[in-house]
Amino acid sequence: QVQLVESGGGVVPPGRSLRLSCAASEFTFSTYAMHWVRQAPGKGLEWVAVISDDGTNKYYADSVKGRFTISRDNSKNTLYVQMNSLRVEDTAVYYCVREGFTMVRGVEVWYLDLWGRGTLVTVSS
């Protein structure tokens, strides 16, 4: 069925790196922008990064800019995030999310319409 499945989470010491992957199924991955959203334990949702459908445009939250890199491989229907210089405050469940859109009075409106189950990243010594 239509789904997103994240992998790659785990426990990592501060300052180290980790790469998360997200495999997309049963939809045309290459036509959708994709996001990473995270949630620290017991906290709210924090938007992390977005990549355009063709991978040319990428934007990041200030909290991860310069440390995280979002990328995608449309031939493999897979989204990635490379996380470097990890900090304790990066501990969170990381969700892979598809961006849908609709037209409202002639204007495109984008929203997060399909979420993966998430993968937990724990940054701890």
Partner 1 sequence: DIQMTQSPSALSASVGDRVTITCRASQSINSFLHWYQQKPGKAPKLLIYAASSLQSGVPSRFSGSGSGTDFTLTISSLQPEDFATYYCQQSHSTLYSFGQGTKLEIK
Q: How far is the CB of 5 from partner 1 (least distance, A)?
A: 11
121 touches partner 1 (CB under 8 A): no
- Cα–Cα distance between 46 and 37 in angstroms, integer? 6
Q: Report 23-42 residues binding partner 1 (CB under 8 A).
A: 35
Binding part of the chain for partner 1, among 18-26, 74-82, 84-92, 97-105 by CB under 8 A, reads: 97-105
Q: Which of 62, 75, 106, 125 binds partner 1 (CB under 8 A)?
A: 62
Cβ distance to partner 1 smaller for residue 17 or 102 = 102
Question: Residues in the site for partner 1, rule: CB under 8 A?
Answer: 35, 44-47, 50, 59, 61-62, 95, 100, 102, 104, 107, 109-113, 115-118
